[in-house]
Amino acid sequence: MPSYDSAHCRFRLAKDHLTLLSHLAGGVPLPAGYGTTAAELQSSGLVSEAGEVSVQLVPLLETLAEPVVAIGAEVIGQQGTLNHGLVIGQEHVFSHESWPGESEVEYAQVEPKLLVWSLARLVNLRQSDALDVGVPCIETTIGVMDAGLTALGSGAPSADGGTPERIQQALAEAGDLTEPALSLFSYLLLELRVHWRVTSAWHGQDDTQPTVAVRGFGIWDCGPLGYWSRESPAEPVHEGQVGPDSPLVLRPVGSKPVWEMLADLLPEEEEIRRTA
């Protein structure tokens, strides 16, 4: 069910709710099959019986309709993939945050000066120093990583106690990693808590035609082994762009550089093409 928290200026809305709201706000005829959605919005007080959208929703709908910068955080963990992010408009900024197993997304208004703080919260950035692990980085391929992940899921650790050795064997057979990188990479896969990809996009400056500028980065959160920056494949990664032979480069990184990477996602004023 959609809902509104006036104390924190936040909403819980599903995709169907937003579709119907955008039609109502724009005066466009409603598509068929949205009777239940309309009843839910009316029950929550976000839409009147006459089809008028609540004034509290106007800043959110305006921001979603005409974003200046959109930042997406794809968070991949044990419960699947969750999509969070920020939408920066001309006047307002809203975060959006998913919840495992729920269709509704929470949209909350964000103070512009707290943009980076909000991004850090969405990816659960915690205080951490880069570990001294004896190698500057791990260099291998996506295919080797896939072999290690397959080995990780191929048995019950409590039954044989040999999970690290099983992963190491799979990695050694799939590629040419040597010690200490071989053992280290096996433990990175074993400790991998969550993998997140963060990208920002905006309409860039171009004298001849409109362009969309994009930049981003990927991070592995390996728990006690800290954060690892996925330098290759470099973001943004498009569908079909990466295969088994694609290079995989992981470098240990502390939370301070990650914070700076989050801040660098925000374009400078002169980078953004302003429309009339």
Binned at pLDDT 50, 70 and 90, residue 158 comes out as: very low
Average pLDDT, the chain: 90
What is the structure's pLDDT at 204? Answer: 76
203-245 tens-digit pLDDT:
876 666 678 899 999 999 999 999 999 999 999 998 888 999 9
Least confident interval from 32-46, 114-128, 224-238: 32-46
Q: Which residues contact 57 (CB under 8 A, 6 or more apart)?
A: 11, 21, 25, 46
Longest dimension (CA), the chain: 70
What is the structure's pLDDT at 276? Answer: 43
Give mean pLDDT, residues 124-147.
Answer: 93
Distance from C-alpha of 88 to C-alpha of 216, rounded to nearest angstrom: 16
> Computed over its alpha carbons, how large is the radius of gyration of the chain?
22
Of 116, 53, 89, the C-alpha closest to 265 is 116
What is the structure's pLDDT at 35? Answer: 85
Give Cα 184 distance to the centre of its chain. 26
Distance from C-alpha of 266 to C-alpha of 145, rounded to nearest angstrom: 31
Of 98, 90, 94, 99, the C-alpha closest to 118 is 94
Coil, strand or helix at 119: helix
Q: Which helix (H) or strand (E) holds 99?
A: none
CA 167 vs CA 16, 65, 142, 152, 247: distances in Å: 43, 47, 15, 6, 19
What is the structure's pLDDT at 26? Answer: 80
What is the structure's pLDDT at 270? Answer: 82
258, burial (CB in 10 Å: exposed 0-12, middle 13-18, buried 19+): buried
Give the Cβ contact number of residue 148 at 10 Å. Answer: 27
pLDDT at 4 over 80: yes
What is the structure's pLDDT at 161? Answer: 52
Provide the 8-state DSSP code for 67.
-
What is the structure's pLDDT at 155? Answer: 58
Q: What percent of the chain has pLDDT over 70?
A: 92
What is the structure's pLDDT at 94? Answer: 97
54-112 tens-digit pLDDT:
999 999 999 999 999 999 999 999 899 999 999 999 999 999 999 999 999 999 999 99
Give the global pTM.
0.90
Binned at pLDDT 50, 70 and 90, residue 8 comes out as: confident
Residue count of the chain: 276
Whether residue 63 contacts residue 22, with contact meaning beta carbons closer than 8 Å, is answered with: no
Give Cα 139 distance to the centre of its chain. 24
The phi, psi pair for 16, rounded to 5°, reads -65, -35
Question: 36: which 2 tokens?
Answer: 């239940």
Of 65, 76, 56, the C-alpha closest to 197 is 76
Give the Cβ contact number of residue 145 at 10 Å. Answer: 21
